[in-house]
Amino acid sequence: MTDITETHVTSPAPSRSTKRIRWSQVFDHTILCTGAFFMLFPVLLVLMTTSFEDADIVRNGLQFGFEGQMLENFDAAMFEAAGFSKAITGTRMLMNSLILGFGFAIGKIVISMMAAYAIVYFRLRFATFAFWIIFTTLLLPLEVRILPSYEAIQSLGLANTYSGLIIPLIASATGTFFFRQFFRSIPEELVEAARIDGAGPIKFFIDILVPLSRTMIAAIFIIMFVYGWNQYLWPTLITTDEGMFTLVRGIKQIVQVLSQTGAMIPEYGKALALSLIAMIPPVLIVIFFQSWFVKGLTESDK
Amino acid sequence: MAQVTLDRVRKTYPNGFEAVQPCSVKIPDGELVVLVGPSGCGKSTLLRMIAGLEDITDGALSIGTDVVNDKDPADRNIAMVFQNYALYPHMSVAKNMGYGLKNRGASKAEIDAKVQEAARILNLGDYLDRRPSQLSGGQRQRVAMGRAIVRDPELFLFDEPLSNLDAKLRNQMRIEIRALQQRLGVTSVYVTHDQVEAMTMADRIIVLNAGRVEQIGTPTEIYEYPASTFVAGFMGAPPMNLLTAQIFEGALKLNEDTVLPITAPAGMGHKVLVGLRPEDVRLGGDGSVLFNVEIVEELGANRLLHGKLGGQDFSLSVGKDEAARTGVQPITLPVARVHFFDPDRGTRI
């Protein structure tokens, strides 16, 4: 006859374990902080420099500290007409860039979703072949086919238009690929249930596929918006009218034009202010869509 | 509500594979018919042809009085419950149920009324605003049923609707579906591979094997008079014992030592398959038939004894009150409940 005895394991005093410094954590944070510093320091430096007068910048390069010129520089960057023909202001460039970014991202999503829909859900004769053709265009980015593209757009009379700026960039193998994979993971029964519920192809697309893909759409939207926003080569080539300049290419143009006209001091402060403004929209988009972005790429709600 | 008629309906795939051989069935109004068979037997294909999700290669399918071969699924006035429920994940329960009506152009008030009514029948009233992902398996199943009910269909189609549920819930839903079907009186076709579901739910069972209809009949008919060895082996758990016996001067010999005390059917060659349900055989007897029990399976309500009879596999089932042990023991065969099958074609004699 033995009694069952409960044994209590005395747990070590909790205060000791919380007090102890976890070196691995310190190490991790050191790396993170160093990385963040390296990424943010140039931005901070630019921000500080915008508060100096152009003459100081020309004499001494990038500056530390704050002077009183920041507001003036930002004001000039946004609202002062500039360029050769005085046809462009910062706001105009910002608008052009936003049109390009949104047009590019939305256009890509619409086109690639429809392409993927056709490839996945319709019994087309050469669907797989067509998909692989689309996929191989990954090997031919715009930079490779830039001259023929320019020739085509030019002869269509689309140079210096938003359509000419956006359309050649829209065809997207990556988007089509992502949507194709996503659509293929949607259970077949859902399509059949919709058919029995009387949803035709267009209704099924709008009522079911689009809402199901919304996290996917958000993820692709971010990638594509930033990609479109940062376009440099194509806008440089296709827009010669200064009124069509985007921010990313406009910054350089302003500095260059002013320094070429002679005795004036290049307006570095203004250019730096513009480059800071150019960073803001992509950052906002990423912050705004961040949670959706992660969802879209990792989890699926089916 | 309608009767469904299949007239030599056949399905051949483009690669030449014949998934469903010509099949003629008449399903009377209000009956629940179960299509049962092992996987790949064509039961789902047949159901999907009735639904309009698969093309019919040949033959005529009518629901009510119209031939519907070329009608879209949406125009056949049917409703289908899928194995994985196929609920729209981004819609609330109410929207899931009302989507079909909305596409038909029903008014908002009408949709609301019908969804409320279905929710009341299925006890889903509290869940109408939830998403399918916030429901349990049984509740999802009920939403799928609700989606079928609100359409007021002439025909319900069920494609293995219970196979994603756990055993306990499955029994419960089985009864619920059956009760609902009887209350609404809607003609139904139900596909399953589970012979228990088939036996318990069906007014009529259609047993399919390799794309061919093996037997059509009520559960009792199927169980008591299986038309072939396939049906005999498929329906019933544990399955019917099938013994190959030599006919020797009117007696049935399993081997040199074992002669069955059963009269051989007249007009046979020298071989026959003898079918015996495990629960028809009794332990004990005069010792003329000896069963070598190798394994005793305890099932609670009864016990299964597996072993050899005359060198062939044999099982029998005894009640929980009877003692069961391994080793050789005498058994009594039910002379009145013996099934004979043709050894070559497997058909009933």
Average pLDDT estimate for A158-162: 88
Contact A193 B90 (CB under 8 A): no
| Per-domain residue ranges of chain A | 22-68, 90-298
Task: Examine residue B238 and say whether the peptide bond preceding it is cis (omega within 30 degrees of 0).
Answer: yes
Q: Are A222 and A174 in contact (CB under 8 A)?
A: no
Indicate whether B82 pLDDT > 80.
Answer: yes
CATH no. for B4-234: 3.40.50.300
Interface A-B, measured as beta-carbon pairs within 8 A, has a size of 60
pLDDT 10s digits, B259-301: 888 888 777 778 889 999 999 998 888 888 889 999 999 998 8
Structure tokens at B110: 């009408």
Contact A190 B86 (CB under 8 A): yes
Residue B143: band (very low, low, confident or very high) from pLDDT cuts 50, 70, 90: very high
Contact A189 B86 (CB under 8 A): yes
Give the residue from chain B lying closest to A302, CA to CA. B89
Structure tokens at B302: 């009864």
Residue B144: band (very low, low, confident or very high) from pLDDT cuts 50, 70, 90: very high
Q: What's the CA gap between B66 and B64, in Å, rounded? A: 6
Given this model, what pLDDT does residue A1 score?
Answer: 45
Q: Which residues of A touch B52 (CB under 8 A)?
A: 195-196
Given this model, what pLDDT does residue A143 score?
Answer: 80
Q: Which residues of A touch B88 (CB under 8 A)?
A: 190, 193-194, 208
Q: Which residues of A touch B82 (CB under 8 A)?
A: 189, 192-193
Min Cα distance B26 → chain A (Å) is: 23
Determine the residue among B54, B76, B90 to mutate to test chain A binding: the one whose Cβ has the most chain A Cβ atoms within 10 Å.
Answer: B90
Indicate whether B187 pLDDT > 50.
Answer: yes
> According to CATH, where is 3.40.50.300 located in chain B?
4-234
Residue A264: band (very low, low, confident or very high) from pLDDT cuts 50, 70, 90: low
ipTM over 0.85: no
Given this model, what pLDDT does residue A300 score?
Answer: 52
Q: What's the CA gap between B188 and A288, in Å, rounded? A: 50
Structure tokens at A221: 């939207």
Q: What's the CA gap between B323 and B319, in Å, rounded? A: 9
| B92: helix, strand or coil | coil
Q: What's the CA gap between B168 and B12, in Å, rounded? A: 38
CB contact B92 to A (< 8 Å): no
Residues 115-154 of B with CB under 8 A from A: 133, 147
pLDDT 10s digits, B26-43: 999 999 999 999 988 989
Give the residue from chain B lying closest to A191, CA to CA. B86
CB contact B73 to A (< 8 Å): yes
Q: What's the CA gap between A90 and A109, in Å, rounded? A: 28
Residue among A194, A199, A211 whose CB faces B90 most closely = A211
CATH superfamily membership of A90-298 = MetI-like (1.10.3720.10)
**Edge-to-edge strand order for the sheet containing B58-63?**
B18-27, B4-12, B58-63, B66-67
Write out the DSSP string of A75-138: HHHHHS-BSSSS-B-HHHHHHHHHHHHHHHHHHHHHHHHHHHHHHHHS--TTHHHHHHHHHHGG
Beta pairing, strands B290-298 & B302-309? antiparallel
CB contact B99 to A (< 8 Å): yes
Q: Which CATH architecture is the domain B241-341 placed in?
A: Beta Barrel (2.40)
CB contact B83 to A (< 8 Å): yes
